[in-house]
Protein backbone atom coordinates (compact mmCIF):
# COMPACT_ATOMS: atom_id res chain seq x y z
CA UNK A 1 0.00 0.00 0.00
CA UNK A 2 1.28 3.47 -0.90
CA UNK A 3 2.14 5.48 2.14
CA UNK A 4 0.76 9.04 2.12
CA UNK A 5 3.31 11.71 2.67
CA UNK A 6 3.67 15.27 1.39
CA UNK A 7 5.19 14.11 -1.94
CA UNK A 8 2.47 11.53 -2.78
CA UNK A 9 -0.20 13.97 -1.66
CA UNK A 10 1.11 16.63 -4.06
CA UNK A 11 1.52 14.08 -6.88
CA UNK A 12 -2.01 12.67 -6.52
CA UNK A 13 -3.53 16.01 -5.65
CA UNK A 14 -2.15 17.53 -8.87
CA UNK A 15 -3.61 14.68 -10.94
CA UNK A 16 -7.00 15.24 -9.31
CA UNK A 17 -6.89 18.96 -9.89
CA UNK A 18 -6.00 18.56 -13.56
CA UNK A 19 -8.79 16.02 -13.94
CA UNK A 20 -11.30 18.46 -12.51
CA UNK A 21 -10.07 21.27 -14.74
CA UNK A 22 -10.41 19.06 -17.80
CA UNK A 23 -13.97 18.11 -16.88
CA UNK A 24 -14.87 21.74 -16.25
CA UNK A 25 -13.55 22.95 -19.61
CA UNK A 26 -14.56 20.21 -22.06
CA UNK A 27 -18.34 20.68 -22.07
CA UNK A 28 -18.10 24.40 -22.77
CA UNK A 29 -15.82 24.02 -25.76
CA UNK A 30 -17.83 21.16 -27.27
CA UNK A 31 -21.06 23.05 -26.84
CA UNK A 32 -19.66 26.14 -28.47
CA UNK A 33 -18.05 24.28 -31.38
CA UNK A 34 -20.50 21.98 -33.00
CA UNK A 35 -24.06 20.96 -32.36
CA UNK A 36 -23.49 17.66 -34.16
CA UNK A 37 -20.83 16.51 -31.69
CA UNK A 38 -21.75 14.75 -28.50
CA UNK A 39 -22.37 17.48 -25.97
CA UNK A 40 -22.46 17.58 -22.22
CA UNK A 41 -26.08 18.31 -21.37
CA UNK A 42 -25.54 18.71 -17.61
CA UNK A 43 -26.02 22.48 -17.73
CA UNK A 44 -28.83 22.38 -20.28
CA UNK A 45 -32.58 21.82 -20.21
CA UNK A 46 -34.19 19.56 -22.78
CA UNK A 47 -37.25 21.05 -24.49
CA UNK A 48 -38.13 18.03 -26.63
CA UNK A 49 -37.86 16.73 -30.16
CA UNK A 50 -37.07 19.32 -32.81
CA UNK A 51 -39.71 17.84 -35.15
CA UNK A 52 -42.38 18.33 -32.48
CA UNK A 53 -41.23 21.83 -31.53
CA UNK A 54 -41.22 22.93 -35.18
CA UNK A 55 -44.94 22.11 -35.46
CA UNK A 56 -47.34 24.98 -34.82
CA UNK A 57 -49.42 26.63 -33.76
CA UNK A 58 -47.15 29.44 -32.65
CA UNK A 59 -46.36 31.02 -30.32
CA UNK A 60 -46.37 28.12 -27.91
CA UNK A 61 -45.32 27.48 -24.37
CA UNK A 62 -42.95 24.61 -23.55
CA UNK A 63 -42.29 23.51 -19.98
CA UNK A 64 -38.97 22.09 -18.88
CA UNK A 65 -37.63 20.41 -15.79
CA UNK A 66 -33.96 19.74 -15.36
CA UNK A 67 -31.18 19.26 -12.86
CA UNK A 68 -28.20 21.50 -13.48
CA UNK A 69 -24.90 19.93 -12.42
CA UNK A 70 -22.04 22.33 -11.75
CA UNK A 71 -19.04 20.48 -10.32
CA UNK A 72 -20.47 18.77 -7.22
CA UNK A 73 -23.50 21.07 -6.87
CA UNK A 74 -26.86 19.97 -8.28
CA UNK A 75 -29.74 22.38 -8.69
CA UNK A 76 -33.27 21.44 -9.77
CA UNK A 77 -34.83 23.94 -12.18
CA UNK A 78 -38.36 24.04 -13.52
CA UNK A 79 -39.69 26.63 -15.88
CA UNK A 80 -40.95 27.30 -19.35
CA UNK A 81 -40.15 29.17 -22.54
CA UNK A 82 -42.20 30.67 -25.34
CA UNK A 83 -41.37 29.50 -28.85
CA UNK A 84 -42.16 31.17 -32.14
CA UNK A 85 -40.77 31.14 -35.67
CA UNK A 86 -38.10 33.80 -36.12
CA UNK A 87 -39.72 36.57 -38.20
CA UNK A 88 -36.35 37.32 -39.81
CA UNK A 89 -35.60 33.72 -40.79
CA UNK A 90 -38.43 31.21 -41.02
CA UNK A 91 -35.94 28.35 -40.66
CA UNK A 92 -35.05 29.45 -37.15
CA UNK A 93 -36.97 29.10 -33.95
CA UNK A 94 -37.16 31.95 -31.50
CA UNK A 95 -36.94 30.51 -27.99
CA UNK A 96 -37.89 33.22 -25.53
CA UNK A 97 -37.51 33.53 -21.79
CA UNK A 98 -40.75 34.55 -20.02
CA UNK A 99 -38.80 36.72 -17.57
CA UNK A 100 -39.90 40.31 -17.99
CA UNK A 101 -37.03 42.62 -18.93
CA UNK A 102 -38.30 45.36 -16.61
CA UNK A 103 -37.78 43.91 -13.14
CA UNK A 104 -37.92 40.16 -13.66
CA UNK A 105 -41.53 39.10 -13.09
CA UNK A 106 -42.95 36.36 -15.30
CA UNK A 107 -44.87 37.46 -18.39
CA UNK A 108 -47.97 35.34 -19.03
CA UNK A 109 -49.89 34.55 -22.19
CA UNK A 110 -52.82 36.72 -23.19
CA UNK A 111 -55.77 34.79 -24.56
CA UNK A 112 -57.57 35.98 -27.70
CA UNK A 113 -60.55 36.92 -25.53
CA UNK A 114 -58.39 39.19 -23.39
CA UNK A 115 -57.00 41.10 -26.36
CA UNK A 116 -58.70 44.40 -26.92
CA UNK A 117 -59.39 46.06 -30.26
CA UNK A 118 -56.55 48.48 -29.61
CA UNK A 119 -53.97 45.84 -28.73
CA UNK A 120 -54.31 42.95 -31.17
CA UNK A 121 -50.53 42.51 -31.10
CA UNK A 122 -50.46 42.00 -27.33
CA UNK A 123 -49.44 38.37 -26.71
CA UNK A 124 -47.48 38.29 -23.43
CA UNK A 125 -48.36 40.45 -20.47
CA UNK A 126 -46.42 41.13 -17.29
CA UNK A 127 -48.86 41.83 -14.44
CA UNK A 128 -46.32 43.50 -12.15
CA UNK A 129 -46.26 46.90 -13.89
CA UNK A 130 -48.22 46.31 -17.09
CA UNK A 131 -45.40 45.22 -19.42
CA UNK A 132 -46.62 44.26 -22.90
CA UNK A 133 -44.94 42.12 -25.55
CA UNK A 134 -46.02 40.94 -28.97
CA UNK A 135 -45.86 37.33 -30.22
CA UNK A 136 -42.13 37.65 -30.94
CA UNK A 137 -41.42 39.00 -27.47
CA UNK A 138 -40.94 42.56 -28.68
CA UNK A 139 -41.82 45.10 -25.99
CA UNK A 140 -44.80 47.11 -27.23
CA UNK A 141 -46.08 48.79 -24.08
CA UNK A 142 -45.42 49.54 -20.43
CA UNK A 143 -42.03 49.86 -18.77
CA UNK A 144 -39.99 46.93 -20.22
CA UNK A 145 -36.90 48.48 -21.84
CA UNK A 146 -36.21 45.71 -24.37
CA UNK A 147 -37.64 42.49 -25.89
CA UNK A 148 -37.81 39.22 -23.98
CA UNK A 149 -34.41 37.54 -23.83
CA UNK A 150 -33.82 34.48 -25.99
CA UNK A 151 -31.97 31.19 -25.62
CA UNK A 152 -29.53 29.87 -28.21
CA UNK A 153 -30.73 26.32 -28.87
CA UNK A 154 -28.36 23.38 -29.03
CA UNK A 155 -29.54 20.40 -31.04
CA UNK A 156 -28.32 16.87 -30.57
CA UNK A 157 -29.96 13.72 -31.95
CA UNK A 158 -32.98 15.79 -32.97
CA UNK A 159 -33.47 16.91 -29.34
CA UNK A 160 -33.50 20.63 -28.55
CA UNK A 161 -31.64 21.86 -25.46
CA UNK A 162 -31.25 25.35 -24.03
CA UNK A 163 -28.71 26.78 -21.58
CA UNK A 164 -31.29 27.81 -18.98
CA UNK A 165 -28.83 29.81 -16.91
CA UNK A 166 -27.64 32.01 -19.76
CA UNK A 167 -30.22 33.72 -21.91
CA UNK A 168 -29.21 36.32 -24.48
CA UNK A 169 -30.37 39.95 -24.52
CA UNK A 170 -31.89 41.43 -27.66
CA UNK A 171 -31.79 45.13 -28.29
FE1 LIG B 1 -42.67 43.33 -15.75
FE2 LIG B 1 -42.28 45.50 -14.32
S3 LIG B 1 -41.48 43.52 -13.95
S4 LIG B 1 -43.46 45.28 -16.10
Contact call for residues 28 and 151 (beta carbons, < 8 A): no
Pick from 25, 39, 81, 32: nearest CA to 58: 81
Measured in Å, residue 104 CA sits from the centre of ligand 1 at 6
Task: Indicate if ligand 1 lies below 6 Å from the C-beta of 131.
Answer: yes
pLDDT, greater one: 91 or 16:
91
Measured in Å, residue 37 CA sits from the centre of ligand 1 at 39
pTM of the shown model: 0.76
Task: Indicate if ligand 1 lies below 6 Å from the C-beta of 156.
Answer: no
- Considering only 39-43, 121-125, 130-134, which range has the smallest mean pLDDT? 39-43
Amino acid sequence: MEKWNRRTFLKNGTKGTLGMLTLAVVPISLTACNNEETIDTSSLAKLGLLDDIKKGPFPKKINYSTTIKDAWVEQKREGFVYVNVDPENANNLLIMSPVCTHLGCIAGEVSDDEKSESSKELTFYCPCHGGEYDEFGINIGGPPPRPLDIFQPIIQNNEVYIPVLSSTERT
